[in-house]
Each structure stands twice: as structure tokens, then as C-alpha cells.
Amino acid sequence: MVRILDATLREGEQTPGVCFDPHIKLAIAQLLDEVGVDIIEGGHPAVAPEIKQVVKTLASKGLRATVSAHARSTESDLSLALECGVGFLGIFYCVSDERLSGVHRKDLGTAVEHITRAIRYAKQRSPDLVVRYTPEDTVRSAFRNVAEASVAAVQAGADVISVADTTGYMIPGTKNNMYDFIRRLRKAFDEAGVHPKLAVHCHNDRGLALVNALDAYRAGVDIIDACVLGLGERSGIVDLAQLLTVLKADFEEGSGWNLAKLPALYELVSKHSGVPVPVTFPVVGENAFTHCAGVHTQAAIQNPLHYQSLDPALVGREMKISLDHMSGMASVRYALEQAGIRGLDEELERAVLNRVKTIGRTGRTVGASELPYIVEWCRKQAGGSDGNAG
Ligand code: HCA
Ligand code: CU
């Protein structure tokens, strides 16, 4: 079983303009717990006292999920994180040659010394803590640096090594692909006699975060990071709902997940992040299970699978038919049936369809609550013209 780490409260808050109130963070964590994610990254306690307070409160909330804190490899960052009582600690330090010489002004040996000291310190203070080490920008760093730092990190006590595609750089089918990277790293670990769990953190700069995460899954990673709405730096990371849905629907993962909670989770996060859910967003978008064109609706009404490959019930949703300029008679009849409006003759049904199409051409759809008024209007027009004729 793969495990899921949700990073909405940490990486998600690195989305420009996103800052959740502490009580909203608790509500988000509660829903994440109900969905069934395994690890909730609560924040980076050294960033602000309010963040530390939230991480600490989350850690003592008795959630089923393990609460995690994010930290640089400095003693002050680590102390603040450890004071929160978390069960999981993520330490990151970039070991690319460019970063080592340009930013850290250290050689690899000194950097490794720094990283291992931090891990030993954390493990000494909290022996049961699960420690993850991330060589930031893993996939663009020299492989030998990543391998050397990671092997040393594991020998110092790290339990998990995370492969971060910090800039959304990997492309399946090219030499820079996540599957081969994970396999190569696992081999290097085996050769060094260390056996950490592997995690993956995929950014979405090329729109390939989910595909790369699935590539990592295929290569056998143990933990996958995701965020609600795919929030995060720049184009964010893997979208949680899409990841969970694919893993459950197509890979038999997540027997304990309750994906029917996803719509409520997305509504909450969208409202308080100010990031709207695009209508076309898979799984949770307004249109994700809505059929529009006459040909589609006619077939979907008979059997939704003609035009759906996912069961909306999996995520607590229903198939919908859109009433607009694309509608045909089947759509109108279905909508009337759904609204409990029965006994219309064909002429009246056609009048309703014409009205729906006219409204649709103005660029909007007809909602279920509007339909009875259209029926009433059309009935009156028919009655009126009957009257005139008589
Ligand atoms: C960051 C970068 C990070 C770290 C991931 C990790 C990334 O914002 O600190 O610590 O596992 O994408 O590399 O999110
Ligand atoms: Cu990131």
C-alpha cells in the first residue's frame, strides 16, 4: 500500500496570497484525516510562531494521520519543530553543485556533515520520530551527490528519502524520467546496504506532476506528496483528488479512503485559499461528471459509461446533464424526469427544448430550479395561442 502525504498546509501555503487561518487549518486537517491521507504536513514551524502553534495543536489533536513538520537542517529550526511533538519530520538540504558552491558555499563533504548532524540531533531528541531527508531539487542535482548525501542521511538515522522534482522537470519517456530515477536510486541504496522508504514530491511546472508521481509509484515509491487543488509554489504539485481517485479506481489502493469527503474538502480549501476550482478540473470540478452535447447526453442517459470512465459515486457525486444550446430532446426529457415534471406532450417538450436552446445561446446553462418556470411559460404560450386560435 502506498502512503499519501498531504502538503496543503505547508507547500499549499507557499501559493502566492494563500494563508489559512489557524482554525481553518484544523478544519482542513480534520477533513484530510476523514479522507484518509496518512501524513499531514502541518507547516514549517520556524516560519512564524502561528505556524508552530498550529503544528503543535495538530500533533496533539489525536488524528489518525501522522502530523509532520518541515524544517531546514539548522538546530533552531529542528528544535522548534521537535517542540511541536510531531511524529514525522521533513528535513531538506540541496546538494546540487551549483547550490553548494553558489548559495551554501560548502563542499559536498561539509554539506553531508551538516545534514547528518541535523538528523542525528533530531533522532537523539526524539528516537521514535520518522525522519525524512530531501535533497531539494533532487532530480536536477548530480546523482552521485544525491546518492552520497542520502546514504549518509540514512546511516545517520533518516527513515525516508524523498525525491523532489522541485521544478517540475521530469518528462516520462525521456532520459529525465521519474521511473528510471527512482529505480537507479533504489539500486544505489541496495548497493550501499541501506534500505530507506522512498517518497516523491512532484511539481507541476510542465503539467506532468501526476504522471510523474504515477511513474514513481510504478517504480515502487512508498510515499507520494500531494496538495488539495494542486496548490504550491508556481504551478503547485500533484493534485490530491486526482491522485487518490486514480490510485483507488485503477490501482486498487486506498481501501480505507473515503473519497466522498473530497468535494467538501475542496470547497473548504478553495473558499479559504481564494483559489477557485476550475469547472473542468478532474474529479472535483463543477463539470467533471456533466454531459452536454445531445449525442453524449442521449447515450449517457442510457448508460453513463458510454461517456464516463469514472464512477461519480466514488467521490460522492452524481452524473449531471447540462441544459444549454447543445441540448437535445433526450436531455430535456431527462431533466424533466429528474425534476419530477411529467405528462408533457411532445409539442410542449419541444417548446421547452427551444426555450432551453435560446437561453443557452446567450452563454448560460439552465439550472434545475429554473426548469419548472420554463415549463410554465411554455405552457402559457401554448394555451394562449390555443385561446387566440379558438
Ligand atoms: C521547499 C521545496 C520543496 C521541499 C520538499 C521537501 C521542494 O519549498 O522547501 O522538503 O520534501 O519542492 O523541493 O517543497
Ligand atoms: Cu515543493
pLDDT tens, residue by residue, 53-77: 999 999 999 999 999 999 999 999 9
Cα 66 to ligand 2 centroid, rounded to whole Å = 19
Cell of residue 316, nine digits: 460522492
Q: Which residues in the chain belong to E strands, given as ranges?
A: 3-6, 39-43, 66-71, 88-92, 130-134, 160-165, 197-202, 223-226, 290-291, 320-321
d(Cα 84, Cα 313) in Å, to the nearest integer? 38
Cell of residue 303, nine digits: 448508460
Cα 137 to ligand 2 centroid, rounded to whole Å = 9
* Mean of pLDDT values over 208-220: 98
Cα–Cα nearest to 34, from 244, 312, 222: 244
pLDDT tens, residue by residue, 236-284: 999 999 999 999 999 999 999 999 999 999 999 999 999 999 999 999 9
pLDDT tens, residue by residue, 332-387: 999 999 999 999 999 999 999 999 999 999 999 999 899 999 999 999 998 855 43
User: Which residue carries 544505489 as its cell?
Assistant: 188
296 as an active site residue: the answer is yes
Q: What are phi and psi of 288, to 5 degrees?
A: -55, -30
Pick the ligand that lies closest to the CA of residue 238: 2
Q: What is the pLDDT of residue 229?
A: 98
Q: How many other C-beta atoms lie within 10 A of the C-beta of residue 384?
A: 10
Say if residue 388's pLDDT is above 80: no
Lowest mean pLDDT of 154-158, 182-186, 193-197, 304-308, name the range.
304-308
Q: What is the pLDDT of residue 104?
A: 81
Q: How sure is the predictor about 390, in pLDDT bands with cuts at 50, 70 and 90?
A: very low
pLDDT tens, residue by residue, 308-332: 999 999 999 999 999 999 999 999 9
Q: What is the pLDDT of residue 384?
A: 57
Say if residue 204's pLDDT is above 70: yes
Say if residue 187's pLDDT is above 60: yes
Q: What is the pLDDT of residue 2?
A: 98
Is residue 57 within 8 Å of residue 22, measured between CB atoms?
yes
* Mean of pLDDT values over 300-305: 92
Pick the ligand that lies closest to the CA of residue 14: 1
Instruction: Write the residue with the smallest CA distance to atom 6 of ligand 1.
Output: 134
Q: Which residues surround ligand 2, an ion (CB under 5 A)?
A: 11
* Mean of pLDDT values over 166-189: 98
d(Cα 246, Cα 240) in Å, to the nearest integer? 10
Q: How many other C-beta atoms lie within 10 A of the C-beta of residue 89?
A: 27
Pick the atom of ligand 1 nearest to 237's CA.
Answer: 12
Catalytic residue (one of 23, 114, 296, 325) = 296
DSSP state string for 66-99: EEEEEE-SSHHHHHHHHTTT-SEEEEE----HHH
Identify the residues whose C-beta falls under 6 Å from ligand 1. Answer: 11, 14, 70, 90, 92, 134, 136, 162, 164, 166, 201, 203
Q: What is the pLDDT of residue 387?
A: 36
Say if residue 17's pLDDT is above 60: yes
* Mean of pLDDT values over 171-187: 98
Cell of residue 300, nine digits: 449517457
* Beta-bridge partners for 227: 239
Is residue 47 within 8 Å of residue 67, measured between CB atoms?
no
Q: How sure is the predictor about 103, in pLDDT bands with cuts at 50, 70 and 90?
A: confident
* Burial profile 140-167: b = 16 or more Cβ within 10 angstroms, e = fewer: bbeeebbbbbbbbbbebbbbbbbbbbbe
